[in-house]
Amino acid sequence: QVQLVESGGGVVESGSSLRLSCVASGEIFSSYTLGWFRQAPGKEREFVAALNWRRGNTNYADSVKGRFTISRDAAKNTVYLQMNNLKPDDTAVYSCGVRVLQRYAPPSGDVPYDYWGQGTQVTVSS
C-alpha cells in the first residue's frame, strides 16, 4: 500500500502562485509515475502533470504548460506542483496519484493510477 498526502492548497487571486506538495509513504516501488490531477465542481477529473520518478521526465496538459512545473525531492519522497500565473479556471481539487510500473513507461495521464491522495482545494478568484 502507498499513502499519499497532499498539501499547499488555498485561496489566491488571479495571477498568483501556489506550490502543492504530495508526500508518499508506505510501500515505495522502484519504478512508478507520480501524477497530479484536478477536478472542478461538475466536471470530470482531468490530468495536469506527471513525472517518472526514476528518470525525472515529465508530461503536462496543454492548459498548464508554461505555468505549472512538476518536480520531486527523492530524499523526502515528495512531488511538488509549482503553479504560477493562476487563473480562475484552475480552481479545483488537486489530487496526486501513483501508477506502479513493471517497466519504464513515459509519464502519462491517460492510464489507470493505482493509488490516490485525498486532494487539496485550490481556489483562484478573479
Q: What is the pLDDT of residues 4-56, one digit of tens each?
A: 999 999 999 999 999 999 999 887 667 889 999 999 999 999 999 999 999 99
Phi, psi of 122 (to 5 degrees): -120, 125
Beta bridge partners of 99: 33
Determine the pLDDT at residue 73. Answer: 93
Q: What is the rounded distance in angstroms from the CA atom of residue 37 to the CA atom of residue 44?
A: 10
Determine the pLDDT at residue 28. Answer: 67
Determine the pLDDT at residue 31. Answer: 83
Q: CB-based burial of residue 82 (10 Å sphere; 0-12 exposed, 13-18 middle, 19+ buried)?
A: middle
Determine the pLDDT at residue 1. Answer: 84
For strands 58-60 and 46-52, give the pairing.
antiparallel
Average pLDDT value over all residues in the chain: 95
Q: What is the rounded distance in angstroms from the CA atom of residue 71 to the CA atom of residue 53?
A: 9
Buried b (16+ CB within 10 A) or exposed e, 84-94: eebeeebbbbb
